[in-house]
Chains A and B, each alone.
Chain A
Amino acid sequence: MRNSILSMTVVAVAIAASSGFAVARDQIKIVGSSTVFPFTTAVAEKFGQTGDKTPVVESTGTGGGMKLFCQGVGEGTPDFTNASRAIKEKELKTCMDNGVTPIQIKVGFDGIVLANSKSGKPLELTKAQIFLALAKEVPGADGKLIANPNKMWSDIDALLPNAKIEVLGPPPTSGTRDAFVELAMEGGAKKFESLAAMRKADKKAFKKVAHAMREDGAFIEAGENDNLIVQKLEANPNAFGIFGFSFLDQNADKLQGARIDGEFPTFEKIAAGDYGVSRSLFIYAKKEHVGVIPGMEEFIIEYTSDNAWGPDGYLADKGLIPLPDAERESQAKDARSLKPVSM
């Protein structure tokens, strides 16, 4: 009894002491998108090797990251957030209201690919065909919307393989999905006269149609774990997966990307902007923390150095598709001079 009481007291005091004297933060904290996560972690690791403390990078998703980032300033809030899309106006407003000035750095592109196992048949699609394959409702013969009747790829176009449409894709909460829907599905929907007319008349209704993925089993929401999708594709040669280019790049021995609008998803094509389904990736830095949290500026410099994000940099090895030279230069200049984001 004596021992237990004493030991408990010691423990209680020790815990109270350690939490009371919270150590000052001397380490960069980064949150945000799981798509940018592999790149930012690579930079963080390099950055840590030069002697500074390695930043902690958390994968919270773009939205979750923005929420934490815009919560306010101070040690309890992250210094950077990764985003697989640009900051939204609403988010920027929240940020500003809380005294946060984000610095936007566009770090590169990520192509979104439709790929299947090498043991399956290669596919060549147009965006309109993607829409016909995956949309919940498609225009029927008379232009009216009907529930998607296409079961086989060959139902869409006789030239396509006679195989069941089965596409594994990211969940609605993922940035990859947002981008796919915006670039591929909307792009495809626009090709239909009736929908193009609708777009002019009622943008909201158009988006609703273009963004609705079918729910009858041909499109399967497969979770955010892109790696698992890759393995599932290997197991099932007829299935296609939607994911970021870096996964195709890393698994080039197992997977082949489908040609979209005549272009293969390759490093060069995406960098040149020829491949239609690609998006920009961003990181946002908190201006208020520059000069406060040690290493902020150095981290920005590391990220925007050609050794990192250049065409021959280590981020390219990780699958990031670099910006064109001129844009890289202007982005680096803006970032290093801490120019706040403007809308």
Chain B
Amino acid sequence: MSPAAPVNLTTPGGLLLVLAVLLPFAGVLLGLVLGGRHAQRVAWLTILLGIGVVLAITRASLGSGASLVYLLGGWAPPLGVALRADGLAVCMMLVVAVVVGAVGVYANGDFGTPAGQRETRAALAFWLLLLAVWGSLNLVFVSGDIFTLYVALELLTFAGVPLVALDGRAETLQAALRYLVYALLGSMFYLLGTFLLYGAYGTLDIALLAERVGAQPVTWMAAALMTAGLLAKTALFPLHLWLPPAHAGAPAAASALLSALVIKGAWFLVVRLWVDVFPGIVSLPAAQLLAALGASAIIVGNIVALRQARLKLLIAYSTVAQIGYLFLMFPLVQALNATQQGNAAAVTGGLLQAISHATAKAAMFMAAGLIYSTLGHDRVADLRGAGRALPMTITAFALAGASLIGLPPSGGFLAKWLLLSAAIATAQWWWVLVMLVGGLLTSAYVFMVVVRAMAPAAPGWSPKKQVPGYQQAAVLGLALCSFLLGLAALLPFDVAQIGRAVVPLVGSP
């Protein structure tokens, strides 16, 4: 770090980071005690306050143009634990707040507890887990300590696994158990890497580690273990097998949280480690390997998605493919680092991909939920009538699909544009090819779903259930966020790069 960056002092606004983590957790505690209808009210109060906190963090961060830092208990690392929020963390917190808000609106329909009714299992669990996921993710984004990050990952796992089995069917129990086994194996690898780093460098603090790590076998082993563990949790090919049944079997609002947000936690940590802690340790071939797995995910995930008979499974396999894009950034970052041009384009591209996928995928899963309620099934071959019954929802599905494909002006377009330019600038044309093929395959299944949904309904057909307008509006709102995200390129400032100007390479002065 440059001496100008005071990484170990609490900055103004630092306390907001504590609030971003603590508020949702306090909401879980209060919601559990009050129970019943009150859990939903507590969740809503927390969501509103939490969005306020995230906006305040954004304002403080833009105002100072530097990372926010908070020293817990006043103890500076390496003894204490610091919370830090750079531009990446702020952007992720913003998108999570938006998605949580939209999922909350949608879930009022599926998990509302009418007045006078007794507490129900699924409703209580959903509202508590929603807050649990939110607080855990905020902790993943702001924690500056690799062991606190381990605890954050576990919190996220414990919040995510029950969401899978929320409707209690036997096959979802199995999917949840399989997810848990992968996640636990991943945690153990991550934890072992953490311990090895402490054993070699005597600190768990990310900023201090970035200064201290040297190119030696223990560091490589720790990096490999932590990365492997995190890949299992992110479900990068070939560790993706747990994901489709888990994400497709959950109730729509839970699927949206899992597919849009939960997997991003572990991915974000890979970015933190590779870009901020180990930039001089990991080699270009290792990054190429990561991206090669990503490329395989894009091809395999998209092809399998095309062959799915059920809409929710199709969307889940599309997540497998989209996770692949998230890993294309690593060799680009490495190659850009080597050229001394700065890695901003590749990092921002990866971040935008995460954000546009989060908003688009949440919208798609909730759209699928509405289609299911309306038609009584989600067979892809038999979607006719859906367009007539749910025009807003099918529009939302198409817009979200456009973002996944990467059509302008969507967030997906801007993300892929940045990644493509970085690939060309660093002469790695093969990633360009993968992205183009992936886009074509994605457009095939998005198109297939939309065309079938637009077909006129059978005569005499009527919707199984009328879905509330606010649910449709929440879905459309999210899809529009994703579709219009590309306009962020017109913003006068680059939020993502706040506090990231100096990325020290090991050995550089």
Decide whether A and B are members of one complex.
no
Hey, which bits of chain B sit against chain A, CB under 8 A?
A: none
